[in-house]
Structure 1
Amino acid sequence: MGRSTFLLITCLVIAPVVNAKQLAITFDDAPRAANGYFDGSTRANTLIENLSKNKVGRVAFFSNTQSLDKQGLSRMRLYDEAGHLIGNHTHSHPNFLDTDLPTYQEDFLKAHQLLKQFNNFQPYFRFPYLREGETLEKRDGMRTLLQKNEYKNAYITLNNYDWYIEVLFQKALKEGKSVDLQRLSNMYIDVLMESIEYYDEMAIKYLGRSPKHVLLLHETDISALFIGDLAQRLRQDGWEIIPPKEAYQDPVAEYQLNQPIKYNPGRIGEIALGKGQKKELWHYTLNEDYLEKRFQQEVLLLSDN
């Protein structure tokens, strides 16, 4: 076998592994307030149905346990009974920048006790706002507590502002505006795919490969409505949807940025920052003004004039 033939075969064998596009889907803030397009139970059932119909498999719901009133608990049980992972997102969703360490730790532990009732509860912790502590005391205090309770940091690699598109959707409905759901789906998915590809390219730049990604979404009406459309687009663009537990086996799970930071762009952004990148750690779609303009133009079909 000639050297050129050997190199070609090697590339064909290695390339799919290096450039494999895989991601897990996770939802924050469950059970999130539902008093707009859907009520809570309709949202939960619609989301579960669309996940199943589109063969998405297991996803993760990170819960704020202060919302586990009778209706919220019923919704979380639906996700649990459908086989989805239930993770800890604190009790009251505190902003770590405005909360002292003992109070934050107490909030985490309160959620831990309440979440143990679910069959599919797993010790994964998603920091609210992705803020892991802006001082060494806070950061290391939470790392120690997580380790003591055998928790894993449920980091994300694919960041976006899907929650703000939901805000725009619900606001338009409240104002009596007609919202074309197909146009909303198109905008929602295009925005998500733009940020997904951006962070994947960033990962390849700094890691030399596409890792097993973790996509951040929120438990919203637009997630329930369009998760099937998103799954189809992901597969169309060459992505495989994998379970969260598999994604968290990727080596990037072990990465820890040396210095504490105030605002966290996600694990890939952390790695880029550690490698010296100072700007554009947040994709341009993570901007409320930008999203509002697109919503006005692409969903409501309103011009700037």
Structure 2
Amino acid sequence: MRFLLRVIVLSLAALAAHAAEPDRRIAITIDDLPWQRMDRTPPAELAARHAQLMAQLKQVGVPVVGFVNEGKLEVDGQVQPARVAMLRDWLDAGYELGNHTHGHLDVHAVGLPAFQQDILDGERVLRPLLAERGQAPRWFRHPYLRAGRTPEDRATLSAFLGDHGYRIAPVTVDNGEWVWAFAYANVLDGQPDTPERAATLERLRRGYLPYMLNKVDYYEQQSQALLGYALPQVWLLHANELNAVAYADLVAGVQRRGYRVVTLDEAMRDPAYARGEDGYNGRYGPSWLHRWAMAEKKPKDFYAGEPVVPGWVLALAGVESE
């Protein structure tokens, strides 16, 4: 009898522990299509690197929304069919494409009129390309995550996007992934093919994975502290050489942490996203979770503990900070 009672107690404890587990969900978004550093990628290598990334995406088989900079489709102002074909590969694989502007402009630098025109210029190829499949662009991602420095500018931009059929795709898991990717590409293209280069590339890949997963952990903790639950997160990545070798491991890493990769639509159904972009009026582009924390006037120590890119990676990337 005592044994049976013990089994029952342990079973109930296990059920309670399971019930207390957060509902971890994450949507994956990949910016700067068709390729992040198009102008610095050796033309002879571009097709193979793109194919490598597409193979990683296929291997994982989870939903993704890719965000296009149409300026990357052009050489001397002329659209290149081979680069448009890279976008067709994304559509053929079943992924959705959104607008990331034509020239990846900073709205805080150029102002609203020029930025709005760059949004429209960013759908000249995209809109007819999607129309071939009975689709239309419906997601917009701000370059640099900069959404306007005043509530009035943010409201004007949001209304403009809505009038053109767009929803804003926020980012909650922000990161310095681009720094790691620049470092990786600099080593890949700037050093001779030696065992030393291979070792540096592997060191970057191995360091990148825990850095990115620690960022996911950090923003889950931020969500719990701010909202009281695990927000369905939106993760920011880019189309680049590093993700062409690391993407599958990244996704496996969040899945080991108990995350389900969901569509951006599903993540955005969470009511917290109705808070929008307000809360931050500075020059940069923080995570939406931090915008909301600023709107609530959280103290400085609320933001403590965020993982940072190591100095050796910054040096290889040729940048001073994230």
TM-score range (shorter-chain normalised) is: 0.7 to 0.9
Residues 154, 277 of structure 2: 8 Å contact kept? no
2-side partners of 1:273 and 1:144: how far apart? 23
Aligned to 2:205: 185
What is the one-letter code of the residue matched to 2:25?
Answer: Q
What TM-score, normalized by structure 1, do the two folds share? 0.84
Structure-2 residue corresponding to 1:301? none
CA distance in 2, matches of 1:8, 1:225: 41
1:219–1:20: structure 2 CA closer, same or farther, 3 Å change rule? same
What is the correspondence of 1:221-300 to structure 2 with a 5 Å cutoff?
A: 221-262=241-282, 263-279=284-300, 281=303, 284-287=306-309, 289=311, 291-292=313-314
Q: How far apart are the structure 2 equivalents of 1:288 and 1:185?
A: 13
* CA distances 1:175-223 after superposition (whole Å, capped 9, x unpaired): 3351334433221111101111101100011111111111000111111
**DSSP-derived class of the 1:211 partner:** coil
Offset of residue 287 of structure 1: 4.8
Measure the CA separation in 2 of the matches of 1:83 and 1:101.
33
Is 2:163 aligned against 1:148? Answer: yes
Give the corresponding residue for 2:72. Answer: 67
Q: After superposition, where does 1:1-305 map in structure 2 within 5 Å?
A: 11=16, 14-16=19-21, 19-32=22-35, 33-34=37-38, 35=41, 39-55=45-61, 57-68=62-73, 69-70=79-80, 71-116=82-127, 117-118=129-130, 119=133, 121-173=136-188, 174-176=190-192, 178-180=197-199, 181-262=201-282, 263-279=284-300, 281=303, 284-287=306-309, 289=311, 291-292=313-314
Give the CA RMSD over aligned residues: 2.8
Distance 1:278 1:93, change over 3 A: farther
> Within 2, Cα distance between the matches of 1:183 and 1:286?
16
Shift of residue 247, structure 1, vs aligned partner: 1.6
Paired-residue identity, %: 25
Which deviates more, 154-163 or 259-268? 259-268
- Code of the aligned partner of 1:253: Y
Q: CA 1:198/1:13 → structure 2, altered by over 3 Å: closer, same or farther?
A: closer
> Equivalent residue of 2:173, what SS?
coil
Q: Give me the TM-score of the superposition, normalised by structure 2.
A: 0.80
Provide, for residues 6-43 of structure 1, a one-character-per-residue CA deviation record: whole Å limited to 9, x for no partner: x9799557524xx1111111111111234259822222
> What is the distance in 1 between the residues matched to 2:292 and 2:155?
19
Query: What SS class does the counterpart of residue 159 from structure 1 fall into?
Result: coil
The whole-number CA distance in structure 2 between the counterparts of 1:138 and 1:283 is: 31
Q: 1:292 to 1:260 in 2, by over 3 A?
A: closer
**8 Å contact from structure 1 (residues 45, 78) kept in 2:** no
Decide whether the 8 Å contact of 1:44 with 1:79 is kept in 2: no
Q: CA deviation at 1:159?
A: 0.6
Deviation of the 1:292 alpha carbon: 2.8
Deviation digits for residues 109-153 of structure 1 (CA, Å, limit 9, x no counterpart): 121332112236531110000000012442222011012123111
- The total of aligned residue pairs comes to 289
Secondary structure class of the residue paired with 1:140: helix
Distance in 1, Cα, partners of 2:202 & 2:246: 9
Runs of at least 4 residues of structure 1 off by over 3 A? 7-14, 119-122, 257-260, 278-291
Long gaps (5+) in structure 1: 296-305
The amino acid that maps onto 1:198 is Y
Amino acid at match of 2:314: E
SS in 2 for 1:24: strand
Q: Which runs of 5+ in 2 are unaligned?
A: 1-8, 74-78, 318-322
Greater CA drift, 135-144 or 212-221: 135-144
